Amino acid sequence: MSSEKKQHTVQTTGHAWDGDLQEFNNPLPNWWLWGFYATVVFAVIYWVLYPAFPIGNTYTKGAFNEITYTTADGKTKTSHWTTRALLMQEMQEARELQKPYLEKINKTGYEQIAGNKEQSSFAYSTAKVLFADNCAACHQAGGAGVIGMYPNLADDAWLWGGSYAQIEESIRKGRNGNMPGFKASLSAEQIDNVAEYVLGLSGIEVNKDKAAQGKAVFEGAGTCHVCHTKAGSGQFAMGSANLTDKVWTFANVPAAKTLAEKKTAVKEVVANGFGRHMPAWNGRLSDVEIKMLAFYVHQLSAGK
Amino acid sequence: MAEQLIQKRIPVVPRSVSGRFRALKYAILLLAYSVYYLLPWLRWERSSGPNQAVLFDIVGRKFYLFDLVVYAQDIFWLAGFLIIAAFLLFFVTSIAGRVFCGYFCFQTLWTDVFVLIERLVQGERTARIKLINGPMNGEKFIKLTMTKLLWLLVALLTGLSFTLYWGNAPELLQQLVAGTGPFPAYATTLFLTATTFVMAGLAREQVCTYMCPYSRFQAVMFDQDTLLVAYDEKRGEAENGRWKPVKGLLKREERQAKGYGDCIDCGFCVQVCPTGIDIRNGIQYQCISCALCIDACNTIMDSINYPRDLIRYSSENELHGKQRRWYKPKNIGYALMLLLISGILVWSVATRVASELRVNQIRQPLYVVLSDGHIQNRYEIKITNKTDQPQKYHLALEGLSSAELDSGYFSETSLGPGESQQLQVRVKMPPDSNSEKIRPFYFVLQSRDTPSKVVVKSKARFNLP
């Protein structure tokens, strides 16, 4: 078809200005037009079903499209269609799917959970998330803690005991760890000697004479043995640290290079003492959540 | 009057033909349909798992292919398979043209069957054209409805059969009929029924000419030696072109003497063409190389005692009297790639490990110092039993002297076929004088009954302060 021939068949709007000025009429393709009508129909249906138009302070809520869901604390709510209500509904469905597993965990003893393929991996994966949400802020992801502030949960040294029951109690009731400062009751030299002795307990090479003097202070004027025991191994009932192992929870001895630096770190703790506090989670977390967390923390280090 | 906005389809009403290629195509059709419709029903003995020979189990994340079970983590085999398919297409197309389009493509196969149904209900080409152009009456209505109902039946069977590959066929079919089947099964069946009906019944050659990318890019692989369905123009047209066999132009000698070609312009080759083209116009993108025009022309040539093959499989070079060359770098390259990838895939499938051991070191914290000064690292381990037998495993370390492994209750574990288990394990070792801060070692999965038998090893690293 030649272009000249084509020109004659083009539609115009019918008007002519200045004699020969005409406007082409380019009709829309039918498929396009019907597509457009379809979007109009779609829009009308959408307006009816979903929230659409603002009216003053409020808006049209959409009809025949209500969402009913039950919240975590058992209240039933009904809402017009919103993405939040959709999410709540999905959360409810997820909770219902989890329920049989949780009930099983609730009824099973710790050792049985640890020995059961399905339950141990369920408890572990669930608690991993709970730990990240509730515990990792202090104890760090993976439970490594921070020396001097938050105890390391991944090693095998326990202040309050590493059995399932003891871990569960720590989580449930929280813990208060206090050590008084001794700078008022002990002289600088006594503190220096005690530090020498305490470092020696962990197998670090120290001055034997000074350590012997330190031992006298430890068991005498310093009254350190009241909490840490005569052997220095601490006791779970008080949360007093075991001074004979290689783990340091408060004085950052592993980071210190020389004996003098290590002593400085220990002396600082003896002189000033410290107090740390772990909040109680009873009530904030459900029983089964606490149980799974205790299982998880025990898994981190194999407990004790 | 408005401009024409779309290319209106002129319906193609192919006439039936018989011959060598038609027979071959029916044979392939029969084979392909038998495999497609019957395969889900083939039962297969397995010591564990479903007894269906071919089953794509989405929920269980396992694909059963006879004795091979493909796990989700083996899905890269699919990439190998697709690469092989691509190179096979390149190789075959480069040598023999659009063989896939003409003989194996499901669009061709299903269109063939739909045209067959059309012919059985409405009659041969002329009858069908008459029916299309005729006014609507009782006969036309019944015939058209019958055709479409039969199409719908084939389309439904097609969609249903596809769906049956994804579940236990007898059970799934029962559920689907009873109305208790899963929603995706209904959706898949319905979708494929609709597309089959539309593509093979209504759209037909438009799929090849407008929609299909392969039909267009296959031309890129063509060269002067590629086989194609071609009309021998020299013989067919001679000096004065084709002409009807009118009086004085009946015998071949008479025609040659007067300078007319062998083509008697009967139009049979055009009538049988499923894409509605005239092969005598030369190579065209619409041609799917189905070779039905060869059958048509040979039928005519035989009936008037002319030599066969006026339309035949030929190549550009051959039509111009040159020798065909098969061995050329391009073809050899395709063949080598095909062999290479096939080799890799076969090797990968043949040497697959029946048990899987995946190790992830926990990196937060990398290590902890224990109360006795030992260093401890933690690992998350996943063991999968991919055999069809229950297995008893023992997990051990290799290459990390004086280290201890603590797997809790699971230093030994039994896994059923297809089962997998996640473990948290701890490895601890005493500090030593070696200043190496990262020690590579292996987790070793042994068979519990014969500890010397290493099932699979996995590399890991141990970090020290």
Task: Dump pLDDT digits (tens) for B160-185.
Answer: 999 999 999 999 999 999 999 999 99
Which of B221, B256, B280 corresponds to the end of one domain? B221
Greater confidence (A14 vs A51) lies with A51
* Residue recorded with tokens 């697959």: B352
Same domain, yes or no: A209 and A264: yes
Q: Are residues A231 and A189 in the same domain?
A: yes
Judge if B41 and B144 occupy the same domain: yes
The answer to whether B385 faces chain A, any CB pair under 8 Å, is no
CA B10 vs CA B195, B248, B270, B274: distances in Å: 21, 36, 14, 12
Identify all chain B residues contacting A27, using CB atoms and an 8 Å cutoff.
Answer: 2
Residues of chain B neighbouring A34 (CB-CB closer than 8 A): none
**Residue B49: pLDDT above 60?**
yes
Task: Inspect the interface and report whether the beta carbons of A11 and B410 lie closer than 8 Å.
Answer: no
Q: Under DSSP, is residue A175 helix (H, G, I), strand (E, B) or coil?
A: strand
The answer to the question of residue A248 being in a domain is: yes
Domain count for chain B, please give it: 3
**B404 part of a folded domain:** yes
Percentage of residues in chain B having pLDDT higher than 70: 98
Query: Which SS3 state, helix, strand or coil, does residue B257 take?
Result: helix
Each residue of B186-236: pLDDT tens digit? Answer: 999 999 999 999 999 999 999 998 899 988 888 888 999 999 999 999 999
With beta carbons under 8 A apart, name residues in chain A contacting B409: 114-115, 120
Residue A7 has pLDDT above 60, yes or no: no
Do B77 and B196 share a domain, yes or no?
A: yes
Residue A6 inside a domain? The answer is no
Same domain, B29 and B108: yes
- Interface contact flag, A301 B406, Cβ < 8 Å: no
pLDDT, tens digit, 9 for 90 and up, residues A224-258: 999 999 999 999 999 999 999 999 999 999 888 89
Q: What is the ipTM of this complex?
A: 0.79
Q: What is the mean pLDDT of residues A28-51?
A: 94
**Is the pLDDT at A6 greater than 60, yes or no?**
no
Q: Do A30 and B408 touch (CB under 8 A)?
A: no
* Closest-approach residue (CA) in chain B for A248: B371
| CB within 8 Å: A141 and B364 | yes
Does residue B329 register a pLDDT over 80?
Answer: yes
Residue linked to tokens 């195509």: B25
In a domain, A95, yes or no: yes
Report the chain A residue with the minimal C-alpha distance to residue B431: A246
Residue span of the structural domain in which A173 resides: 127-301
Nearest to A131 by CA among A276, A301, A286, A289: A289
* Pair B125, B65 in one domain: yes
The rounded mean pLDDT for chain A is 91
- CATH code of B435's domain: 2.60.40.10
Specify if B9 maps to a domain: no
B362 touches chain A (CB under 8 A): yes
Who among B3, B368, B406 is closest to A154 (CB)? B368
Query: Would B313 be classed as within a structural domain?
Result: yes
**Nearest CA distance, B205 vs chain A (angstrom):** 21
B119, B201, B121: which is closest to B156 by C-alpha? B201
**B438, B366: one domain:** yes
B375 located within any domain: yes
Let me know whether A142 and A226 are in one domain.
yes
Model pLDDT, residue A99: 93
Rounded to whole angstroms, the Cα distance separating B158 from B189 reads 8
Which residues on A lie below 8 Å from B370 (Cβ)? Answer: 155-157, 246-247
Interface touch B371/A301, C-beta < 8 Å = no
| A119, part of any domain | no
Based on the domain organization, do B171 and B62 belong to the same domain?
yes
A253 lies in the same domain as A184: yes
A114: which chain B residues are within 8 Å (Cβ-Cβ)? 408-409
The answer to whether residues B379 and B360 belong to one domain is yes
Looking at the structure, do residues B241 and B191 belong to the same domain, yes or no? no
- Kindly list the residues from chain A whose CB atom is less than 8 angstroms away from the CB atom of residue B368: 144, 152, 154-155, 301
Residue B400 to residue B47: CA distance in whole angstroms: 38
The phi and psi torsions of B23 (rounded to 5 degrees) equal -60, -45
pLDDT bin (cut points 50, 70, 90) of residue B2 is low
Interchain CB distance below 8 Å, A299 and B3? no
Domain end residue (candidates: B174, B204, B221): B221
Cα–Cα dist B267/B280, whole Å: 10
Same domain, A92 and A238: no
Measured distance CA(B336)–CA(B116) in Å, rounded: 40
Same domain, B200 and B248: no
Q: Which two tokens stand for residue B95?
A: 């040598």
Phi, psi of A54 (to 5 degrees): -75, 135
Put simply, whether B371 touches A (Cβ < 8 Å) is: yes
- Contact pairs from chain A to chain B, CB under 8 Å: 73
Residue whose token pair is 């919240």: A71
Same domain, A270 and A204: yes
- Output the domain CATH number for residue A131: 1.10.760.10
A196 in the same domain as A80: no
Res B454 pLDDT > 90: no
Cβ distance A121 to B421 less than 8 Å, yes or no, reads yes
Does A95 lie in the same domain as A224?
no
- pLDDT cut 90: percent of chain A above it: 77
Among A143-147, B135-139, B389-393, B450-454, which stretch is predicted with the lowest mean pLDDT? B450-454
Find the mean pLDDT for residues B329-340. 95
Count of domains observed in chain A: 3
Report yes or no: B431 at the A interface, CB cutoff 8 Å. no
Q: Are B232 and B311 in contact (CB under 8 A)?
A: yes
User: Residue B4's pLDDT is what?
Assistant: 64
pLDDT digits (tens, 9 = 90+) for B227-259: 999 999 999 999 998 999 888 888 888 999 999
State the angle between helix axes of B292-303 and B20-38 in degrees (0 to 180), rounded to the nearest 10. 140
> Are residue A172 and residue A81 in the same domain, yes or no?
no
Q: Give the number of other Cβ atoms within 10 Å of residue B4's Cβ.
A: 8
| Domain membership flag for residue B372 | yes
Q: Tell me: the pLDDT tens digits for A80-128? A: 999 999 999 999 999 999 999 999 999 999 999 999 989 999 999 999 9
Query: If you average pLDDT over every residue of chain B, what do you get?
Result: 91
Q: Using the predicted structure, report yes or no on whether residue B113 has a pLDDT greater than 80.
A: yes
Q: Which of B177, B204, B221 is the last residue of a domain?
A: B221
Six token digits for residue A158? 């326990």
Contact A247 B370 (CB under 8 A): yes
Identity of the residue in A10, A29, A247 whose CB atom sits nearest the CB atom of B5: A29
Could you report the per-residue pLDDT of B398-428, keeping only the tens digit for each? Answer: 998 889 999 888 888 899 888 889 889 999 9
Is residue A2 predicted with pLDDT exceeding 60?
Answer: no
Could you tell me if residue B82 is inside a domain?
yes
Residues A234 and A151 in one domain: yes
pLDDT in tens, B52-70: 999 999 988 889 999 888 9
Residue A60 lies in a domain: yes
Q: Do residue B199 and residue B235 come from a single domain? A: no
pLDDT in tens, A193-219: 999 999 999 988 999 999 999 999 999
Nearest CB neighbour to B362, from listed A142, A247, A302: A142
In a domain? residue B342: no
Taking the Cβ of residue B78 and every Cβ of chain A, the question of whether any pair is shorter than 8 Å is answered with: no
* Structural domain harbouring B421: 355-463
Closest CA to A187 of A206, A219, A214: A214
User: What is the three-class DSSP state of A187?
Assistant: coil
Provide the pLDDT confidence category of residue A3 given band limits of 50, 70 and 90: very low
**A79 Cα to chain B: minimum distance (Å):** 27
Residue B309 DSSP one-character state: -
B405: closest chain A residue by CA: A302
- Structure token digits, residue B458: 């996995």
* Domain identity same for B94 and B177: yes
Instruction: Give chain A's radius of gyration (CA, Å).
Output: 36
Tell whether B46 and B64 lie within a shared domain. yes
Question: Does A295 lie in the same domain as A240?
Answer: yes
Of A77, A107, A137, the residue at which a domain comes to its end is: A107
Same domain for A143 and A260 = yes
Q: Which of B370, B383, B405 has the highest number of chain A CBs within 10 A, making it the mutation to test binding with A?
A: B370
Report the distance separating Cα B257 and Cα B328, nearest Å.
Answer: 41
Considering the domain boundaries, does residue B188 fall inside one? yes
Whether B411 has its CB under 8 Å from any CB of chain A: the answer is: no
